[in-house]
């Protein structure tokens, strides 16, 4: 304790400068988070809305309803949504990384019109999610949708028109537009990373007889590790909490894309907040947050070396 | 000497212009203090965009009221449908809502349950609501879990069957001969077999949207009711969607998909897209609200498709009768008064003006395309002397409103829209062959979840059960 006070006194100016940030974090992050966690233990329903945090104490009832009560509408379709979210998150995160990396490698080369190409490639990223959802909603239609016209009528890759917006393909109808929208961000980050790799490393490898693939594998990929590690973390967090794309594409009814397309966030929104059961909604969100803390912990263990300054 | 642009001839003139503009604007926009000083009382009303020009149409509708109440300033706010529910409930919780508010038919019960609405039994008694309004609208005005009337019906959303008279004629189908569901299916089969083309594309017999739609429950309801089935038992305290009759209705409706009468590609679409399919000539029939009739007659420069090939060749009819009932979905809107109003008597005057004044009811029906709730409005030549609107007059007696139970919102929005939507996937066979067992399994899940919501409600409001069990659901006219 004496040591702590000594450190505080020694660095008091530094701590003083940190104080506004700490206060901001307390008000904007810690307090709402604590309220959310506390709400998960309350019976906060339609008739108790005015009470807010003074709603009756429910103990673990909300958590029991979410995890164990088969009759509870709150947990309806939860496992489908969990399965889809895992599939969606992995596919979108890896998909955006791969497409972004390929595009970054392409526009990192010298060619005429490179600046224009780089700017045009950012286009999907600046399209609002609302437009993306609406646009792809039309493009996926079985008979008149652009995707099937390209796949079947133009390229003859398939001899039948698949159904995308209902049934098992629904998850791909959500994954592909998300990758389409997010890859420019990955490209931008990876391009910045690529430009930080010294040219002489590649030249040395070339003199030593390294093939382009060996250069990529032993130079580009490892030296880009800090960038793609951050992109991986960002992708995992951002995609697990995906909500807009589903609501924009399937939000005309209950925002339910079917068992094959429902995600955790849309499930929580529908099953708790449309049901006016804020306590259960908070409990579900807390559980999801706990899951994400575990994911981040695993990520940190795997990549902490890449983050430290060399 | 400074160079002045022609737009700013001199600083003195600019100052004069600004002062003039300030005077003009201060004359137009009075502050609440100024209004109070002049003895003006403000009455706020929130409505949704029910007409193409909601603000102007409401202002025009309110002219008579304003003339009759010179000391009252009526302020109209138009809320978007998508955000209206949130805004209204937030206002009801915060206690700062408007004086008068438009509510969807199924919202009244939830808001009454929240204690947001002013009981208006006196108004209902004074206007003799049980005589002047269509009997099938009563369900909505007095919620089952309340002993008070808390709203009055404003307009009705009832859904006739629109059909392409030219397509029916080519397929040798007489719409007048379609009396019941068997006739209906036979007619659709004939249209399908005729393979009639419109601009090179085959015309589908009928179009219903799938699960990605706000009308999923409304589209299922008439078929469930037609076989004598229902969502809830007559007291509204138990889900009966798994009854033999309800299951028959569900199976019939899904059968339209399975028989290819409602093509599976329609299930990817929503109501607006299906409606466009009809406008484009790709559907032979459609069940849509009466506002469609206005759109089909509106010239293109005003946003309609009047005089198009479809608009020149369409008819409307009362949907066919089911084995037990001829019933159509009836929605629409109510008008209610917020409990927080500072002018309850004035608000009641406004409510009466909009709901029981025949001219206002007809006036709003003319611009919105929805139907009035006032019985006498249907005796007007506007309904009796127009072939299509005469069908609407007949249709409205078959309308049925959902039970006004306090938990209907949760049931419809979350459980039924999702569960019934899943049935479309089963009918479309996207996850495997169709089976009655799969349908039953999905219905059982809905029943379990709905009963759980009901039980939860009665745990919090045990007094509601006795009250609801003492009231029997109003049965629509046969």
Tell me if B247 sits within 8 A of B326, measured CB to CB. no
Q: How many other β-carbons are positioned within 10 Å of the β-carbon of residue B214?
A: 18
Q: What is the DSSP letter of B320?
A: P
Please indicate whether, in this complex, the C-beta atoms of A253 and B428 are within 8 angstroms of each other: no
Residue A223 within any structural domain of the chain: yes
The predicted-structure confidence for A46-60, as pLDDT tens digits, reads as follows: 777 778 888 999 999
B286 and B411 housed in the same domain: yes
Residue B8 within any structural domain of the chain: no
Q: Which of A58, A69, A73 to mutate to test the interface with B (most CBs of B within 10 A)?
A: A73
In chain A, the number of structural domains is: 2
Is the pLDDT at A304 greater than 90, yes or no?
Answer: no
Please indicate whether, in this complex, the C-beta atoms of B413 and A254 are within 8 angstroms of each other: yes
Q: Which of B107, B110, B204, B211 to mutate to test the interface with A (most CBs of A within 10 A)?
A: B211
Nearest to A252 among B212, B415, B422 (CB): B212
Stronger pLDDT, B478 or A26, i.e. the higher one: A26
What integer pLDDT is reported at residue B214 of this predicted model? 86
Task: Quote the ipTM score.
Answer: 0.81
Q: Report the phi/psi class of residue B161: left, alpha or beta, with left for phi > 0 and alpha for psi in -120 to 50.
A: beta
Listed residue (B101, B103, B149, B105) closest to B401, CA to CA: B105
Return the percent helix, strand and coil in chain B, to nearest 5: 55, 15, 35
What integer pLDDT is reported at residue B146 of this predicted model? 92
What integer pLDDT is reported at residue B343 of this predicted model? 94
Residue A142 within any structural domain of the chain: yes
Residue B132 within any structural domain of the chain: yes
A28 and A85 housed in the same domain: no
B77–chain A nearest CA distance, Å? 24
Quickly state the pLDDT bin for B431 (edges 50, 70, 90).
confident
Q: Taking residues B413-422, report their average pLDDT.
A: 91
A contact set with B (CB within 8 A): 45-47, 49-50, 71-73, 76-77, 140-143, 163-168, 249-250, 252-254, 256-260, 270-271, 274-276
What integer pLDDT is reported at residue B230 of this predicted model? 97
What integer pLDDT is reported at residue B3 of this predicted model? 38
What integer pLDDT is reported at residue B32 of this predicted model? 55
What would the two tokens of residue B407 be?
A: 């938990």
Range of the domain at A302: 77-307
What would the two tokens of residue B183 be?
A: 């006739």
Quickly state the pLDDT bin for B14 (edges 50, 70, 90).
very low
Quickly state the pLDDT bin for A156 (edges 50, 70, 90).
very high
B323 and B349 housed in the same domain: no
pLDDT, mean over chain B = 89
The predicted-structure confidence for B185-196, as pLDDT tens digits, reads as follows: 999 999 999 999
Listed residue (B293, B291, B273) closest to B283, CA to CA: B273
What integer pLDDT is reported at residue A221 of this predicted model? 95
- Report the distance separating Cα B365 and Cα B368, nearest Å: 5
E runs forming strands in chain A? none
What integer pLDDT is reported at residue B470 of this predicted model? 84
B148 and B101 housed in the same domain: yes
Quickly state the pLDDT bin for A77 (edges 50, 70, 90).
confident
Quickly state the pLDDT bin for B392 (edges 50, 70, 90).
very high
A255–chain B nearest CA distance, Å? 7
Q: Can you give the pTM of this predicted structure? A: 0.86
- Residue B171 maps to which CATH number? 3.40.190.10
The 10 Å CB-count burial string (b at 16+, else e) for B29-52 is: eeeeeeeeeeeeebbbbbbbbbbb
Which of B400, B415, B443 terminates a domain? The answer is B400
B310 and B371 housed in the same domain: no
Chains A & B: contacts with CB separation below 8 Å: 106
Please indicate whether, in this complex, the C-beta atoms of B114 and A76 are within 8 angstroms of each other: no
Listed residue (A70, A166, A267) closest to B445, CA to CA: A70
Q: Taking residues B428-456, report their average pLDDT.
A: 93
Range of the domain at B389: 38-158+330-400
The predicted-structure confidence for A275-292, as pLDDT tens digits, reads as follows: 888 999 999 999 999 999
Is the pLDDT at B8 greater than 50, yes or no?
Answer: no
Sequence-ordered list of residues with C-beta below 8 angstroms from that of A224, at least 6 positions apart, any chain: A101, A190, A193, A194, A197
The 10 Å CB-count burial string (b at 16+, else e) for B431-468 is: eeeeeeebbeebbebbbbbbbbbbebbbeebeebeeeb
A135 and A276 housed in the same domain: yes
Q: Which of B280, B430, B458 to mutate to test the interface with A (most CBs of A within 10 A)?
A: B430
The predicted-structure confidence for B435-446, as pLDDT tens digits, reads as follows: 999 999 999 999
B380 and B353 housed in the same domain: yes
Share of chain A above pLDDT 70, in %: 98
What integer pLDDT is reported at residue B476 of this predicted model? 44
What integer pLDDT is reported at residue B258 of this predicted model? 96
B177 and B254 housed in the same domain: yes
With H, G, I as helix, E, B as strand and everything else as coil, classify residue A190: helix
Nearest to A258 among B422, B450, B452 (CB): B422
The predicted-structure confidence for B268-307, as pLDDT tens digits, reads as follows: 999 999 999 999 999 999 999 999 999 999 999 888 999 9
Q: Taking residues B129-142, report their average pLDDT.
A: 91
Residue B467 within any structural domain of the chain: no
């Amino acid at each position: 304790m004496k040591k702590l006070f000594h450190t505080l006194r020694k660095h008091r100016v530094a701590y003083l400068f940190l104080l506004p940030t700490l206060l901001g974090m307390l008000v904007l992050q810690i307090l709402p988070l604590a309220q959310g966690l506390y709400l998960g233990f309350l019976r906060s329903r339609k008739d108790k809305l005015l009470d807010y945090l003074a709603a009756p104490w429910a103990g673990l009832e909300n958590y029991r309803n979410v995890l164990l009560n088969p009759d509870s509408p709150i947990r309806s379709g939860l496992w489908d949504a969990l399965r889809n979210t895992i599939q969606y998150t992995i596919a979108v995160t890896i998909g955006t990384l791969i497409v972004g990396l390929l595009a970054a490698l392409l526009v990192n080369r010298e060619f005429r019109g490179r600046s224009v190409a780089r700017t045009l490639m950012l286009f999907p990223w600046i399209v609002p999610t609302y437009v993306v959802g609406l646009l792809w909603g039309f493009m996926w239609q079985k008979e008149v949708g652009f995707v099937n016209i390209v796949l079947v009528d133009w390229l003859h890759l398939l001899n039948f028109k698949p159904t995308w917006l209902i049934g098992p393909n629904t998850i791909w109808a959500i994954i592909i537009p998300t990758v389409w929208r997010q890859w420019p961000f990955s490209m931008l980050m990876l391009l910045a990373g690529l430009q930080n790799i010294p040219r002489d490393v590649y030249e040395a490898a070339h003199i030593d007889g390294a093939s382009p693939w060996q250069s990529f594998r032993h130079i580009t990929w490892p030296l880009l590790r800090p960038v793609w590690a951050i992109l991986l973390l960002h992708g995992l967090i951002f995609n697990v909490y995906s909500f807009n794309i589903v609501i924009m594409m399937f939000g005309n009814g209950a925002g339910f894309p079917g068992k094959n397309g429902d995600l955790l966030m849309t499930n929580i929104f529908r099953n708790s907040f449309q049901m006016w059961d804020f306590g259960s909604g908070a409990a579900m969100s807390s559980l999801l947050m706990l899951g994400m803390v575990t994911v981040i912990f695993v990520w940190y263990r795997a990549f902490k070396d890449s983050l430290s300054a060399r | 000497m400074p160079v002045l642009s022609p737009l700013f001839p001199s600083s003195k003139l600019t100052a004069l212009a600004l002062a003039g503009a300030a005077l003009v604007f201060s004359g137009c926009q009075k502050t609440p203090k100024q209004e109070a000083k002049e003895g003006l009382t403000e009455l706020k009303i929130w409505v949704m965009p029910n007409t193409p020009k909601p603000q102007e149409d409401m202002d025009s509708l309110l002219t008579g009221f304003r003339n009759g109440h010179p000391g009252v300033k009526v302020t109209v706010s138009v809320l978007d449908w998508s955000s209206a529910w949130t805004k209204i409930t937030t206002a009801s919780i915060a206690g700062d809502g408007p004086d008068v508010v438009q509510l969807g038919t199924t919202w009244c019960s939830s808001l009454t349950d929240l204690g947001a609405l002013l009981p208006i039994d006196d108004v209902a008694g004074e206007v003799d609501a049980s005589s002047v309004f269509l009997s099938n609208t009563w369900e909505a005005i007095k919620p089952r879990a309340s002993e008070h009337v808390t709203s009055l019906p404003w307009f009705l959303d009832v859904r006739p069957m629109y059909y392409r008279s030219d397509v029916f004629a080519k397929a040798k189908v007489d719409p007048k001969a379609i009396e019941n569901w068997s006739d209906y299916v036979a007619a659709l089969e004939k249209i399908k077999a005729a393979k009639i083309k419109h601009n090179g594309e085959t015309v589908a017999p009928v179009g219903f949207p799938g699960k990605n739609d706000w009308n999923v429950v409304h589209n299922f309801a008439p078929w469930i009711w037609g076989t004598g089935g229902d969502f809830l038992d007559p007291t509204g305290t138990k889900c009966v969607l798994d009854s033999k009759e309800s299951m028959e209705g569900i199976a019939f409706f899904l059968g339209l998909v399975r028989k290819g009468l409602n093509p599976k590609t329609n299930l990817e679409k929503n109501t607006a897209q299906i409606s466009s399919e009809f406008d484009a000539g790709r559907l032979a029939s459609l069940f849509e609200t009466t506002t469609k009739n206005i759109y089909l007659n509106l010239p293109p420069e005003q946003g309609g498709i009047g005089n198009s090939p479809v608009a020149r060749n369409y008819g409307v009819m009362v949907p066919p009768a089911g084995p037990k009932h001829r019933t159509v979905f009836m929605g629409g809107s109510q008008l209610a008064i917020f409990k927080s109003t500072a002018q309850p008597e004035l608000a009641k005057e406004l409510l009466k003006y909009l709901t029981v004044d025949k001219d206002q009811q007809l006036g709003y029906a003319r611009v919105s395309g929805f139907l009035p709730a006032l019985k006498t409005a249907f005796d007007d030549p506007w309904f009796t002397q127009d072939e299509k609107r005469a069908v609407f007059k007949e249709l409205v007696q078959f309308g049925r409103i959902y039970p006004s139970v306090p938990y209907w919102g949760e049931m419809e929005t979350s459980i039924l829209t999702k569960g019934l939507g899943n049935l479309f996937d089963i009918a479309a066979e996207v996850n495997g062959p169709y089976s009655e067992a799969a349908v039953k399994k999905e219905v059982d899940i809905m029943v379990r979840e709905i009963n759980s919501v009901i039980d939860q409600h009665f745990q919090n409001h045990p007094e509601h059960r006795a009250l609801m069990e003492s009231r029997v659901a109003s049965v629509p006219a046969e």
